[in-house]
Every structure is written in structure tokens, then in C-alpha cells.
A = this chain, B = another copy of it.
Amino acid sequence: MEEEMRLLLQDLDSLKQSLPSSCLNSIDAIQDRAGKIMNLSRTSNSRRSKVKDMSAEVVDSNPYSRLMALQRMGIVENYERIRNFSVAIVGIGGVGSVAAEMLTRCGIGRLLLYDYDTVELANMNRLFFRPDQVGMTKTDAAVQTLSDINPDVVLESYSLNITTVKGFDVFVNSLKSGVDLVLSCVDNYEARMVVNQACNELGQTWMESGVSEDAVSGHIQLLVPGETACFACAPPLVVASGVDERTLKREGVCAASLPTTMGVVAGLLVQNALKYMLKFGQVSPYLGYNSLKDFFPTMEMRPNPQCSNAACVDRQKEYMKSKPARDAAAKAKIEAEASSLNEEPLHLDNEWNISVVDDNDAGASTSEKAPSILPEGLVHELPTADNYPEQVGPTETGGIDDDLEELQRQLDALNSS
């Protein structure tokens, strides 16, 4: 629009040259007005320019100061590495769009976005999309919003259905460009199985997410082909029933959804994605969210040697074959860390800043530090591969059942309470 305004001002100028002097006042007035409009349009479209390096400088104009502070706080060793990562988000709906916004605001290097749907007013009960984007494809609307928020992020969008033959090809090829993590944020079983297929074929680590049709529970899950259960190995625990939204709509009913549940699931998903990429904390293999009781079940799911997905079984075999090399590397790393720990204590400034107020203090103004509730001087890494149970043999299928039974026990205990 700014360009259009510039051309209009140019037109007025040339008109001015050709007019009798009696008209000049009117033209001047019109030019004034046009200049004012140009300023208004400029304000509403002001975008910051790209920044070359992420600075830790604490000034109001630095969009990365609060993120780079994660280093000073001892949480992340090298935050700027985030610019080297590419994340693919499949499904730009209630969870995927918020996940994309979070990663964009964190300054991720590159985002690949996949969706075939358009924005509707019926989506407005979830975060991210705006009413003025109704009718746009979700990918176009997302690129519009995200590029305004952070021009440093490279955005690639694919308006396609990954469950079609052609869509699947484009999807798989785009992942071959070098993607560090795939986030599945789709709303049906078929699309999840397609993401699973692509990631198993490529040996691509991914995270799955879902929200129940009654809108009050959800989950996230880490899937590392060959190392953890794939989506076909183990049953999804809390997942939409697999009925396409279009079918539901034809019948005059739709799934419920809440911006809260979807915001929490997106937050848990991207938090675990950050932990995975930037190597801090512990990545959850599975994390549920039951919002009615604020209950968060966790579990691990081992791969099923009899999985129906052939690519999964291939990845499992490769994973077993590479075990000796992995063990050696893990041992060397532990030894290297142990020797560096002897040199100097790490992360002295890693504090939680808990303030404890004395109950009996009438003024309630003094505070004292409670003992830190984080392990002193430790930064947690992604659990090494070998922390996952090792017994993956052709006759061993009990693992999945055990885990499911354990989760069922947790849920039963919850329901009877």
C-alpha cells in the first residue's frame, strides 16, 4: 500500500505541472492529505529490519535480550545456535500456529509450514489467526503474521494435503532439505500415520501432539525412529477419533476446542523442542495434560519389534546395530565431562530466586533465599539413547503393554480419587 501511495503522490505532482495556477491550492491540499495517509500507512506497517547477530545487550530495542539472558542464567549454553535449526510444522491449526509463533519469537532459523485449509471465523476461538485473515490459506496467513513478528526467520510454506500421493512426495522431499525436528500438529489419525511413515522412512526425529475432541485434554510425544515407539507401534492414548472435521461438519456437529488447552499443548511441545535442540533439561518421551484435574501423566514407549510399519522395523535394526559405537561415544563423553567438572564449578549463577517470607514477620518486607530446588551446578542433557530400555528383540513385546498398564493404573487411581 505504501508503494501505491508513493505513486499517487507522484501523479499529483505531475498533474500540478500541467494545471492553471488557480487550481494549485486544491492540489496542495490534496497532497497534504495524501502525505498524512502515507504516514498513517507507514506506522501500521513498520517492520523492524533483520539483525545480523543475536545480541545480549539489555536495551528496549533488542528483541533477543530476554532470550540471550538464558545463557547468563545458566540454562542454555549457546542460545544463538537456535538460528542454525530448521523445524517443520505439519498442521497450522490451534496447536501448530501457536507453536510456529513461539518458535518465530524465539528466533528459530527456518520454519517449514504445511496445511491445506483456509482460515474461518470458526477458528477464532483459538489463538493466532485474526478475523481479517478469514478466507486466506492458513499457510499464507501464518507467513503474513510471522514475517511481521520476526523478519529474521526464514519461512517456507506448503499449502498442500500430505495425505495425497502428490502431497506426500512434496512433503518428503522438503524434509530432505535438512530439517532438525518435525512437529506434528494435525487433527486426525490418517495425517499422523502419514507423518509417521515419512519420518520412519527418513529416520527423522519428530514430536507428535494432540488435543481431545472434548477440548479438555491433550498430549505430546517424542518419536525417534528405531529408538522409541513409532506411531504405529503403540496406540495413541488421547487423540481425536480420526473422523475428519469435514465429515463432522456435514453431520452438523464439531469437536470442541479451547485456546487454553491448545496454548498449553503448544507451549509444552515447543518447550520440549527447545530442550531437544538447545540441549537443556530433560525431553519428555510422553507427556499428557488432563485439564479437568491438572494431571500430567508421563511414560516411555519402547518400539514394537512386530510393528506393522516396515520402515520402523528397519530403523530398529539399525539402532541395535549401532549400539556398540553409541556406548563408546557415551562413555567418552561422560569421561570428558567428569574431567572438565574437576577444573571448575559450572553455572554458579544458576538460581531460582525463590523468596521466602517469614510468616511471623509483621512487615512481610524482608525475604531470604530458600535452598535451591534445582540440582546444584547441573545442566540436564537429552537422555542419551541408552537410557531407553535396550531389550529390543523379536520376541519381546511386553514393554508396550507394561507401559500402557502403568498409565491405565495412573488414570484409574485418578478416577477413583
Question: In the complex, A357→B233 CA distance in Å?
Answer: 9
Q: With A66-B255, A400-B359 as known contacts, state yes or no: A375 contacts B415, CB within 8 Å.
A: yes
Using C-beta atoms within 8 Å of the partner chain, give the interface range for chain A: 35 or more
- Residues of B close to A267: CB separation below 8 A: 259-261, 263-264, 267
Tell me the smallest distance from the CB of A90 to a CB of chain B, in Å: 19
Tell me the smallest distance from the CB of A161 to a CB of chain B, in Å: 18
Interface digits, A53-79 against B, CB 8 Å rule (1 contact, 0 not)? 000001111111111011011110000
- Residues of B close to A20: CB separation below 8 A: 20
Interchain CB contact (< 8 A) of A357 among B46, B236, B292: B236
* A361 interfacial by beta-carbon distance below 8 Å: yes
Binds B, one of A1-9, A168-176, A317-325: A1-9
Contact B193 A364 (CB under 8 A): yes
One complex includes copies of this chain to the number of 2
The residues in A between 342 and 376 inclusive whose CB is less than 8 angstroms from any CB of B are 350-357, 359-364, 367, 370, 373-375
* A29 interfacial by beta-carbon distance below 8 Å: yes
- Residues of B close to A350: CB separation below 8 A: 214
Tell me the smallest distance from the CB of A365 to a CB of chain B, in Å: 9
Q: With A34-B8, A124-B63, A264-B271 as known contacts, state yes or no: A46 contacts B131, CB within 8 Å.
A: yes
Interchain CB contact (< 8 A) of A37 among B8, B12, B98, B284: B8
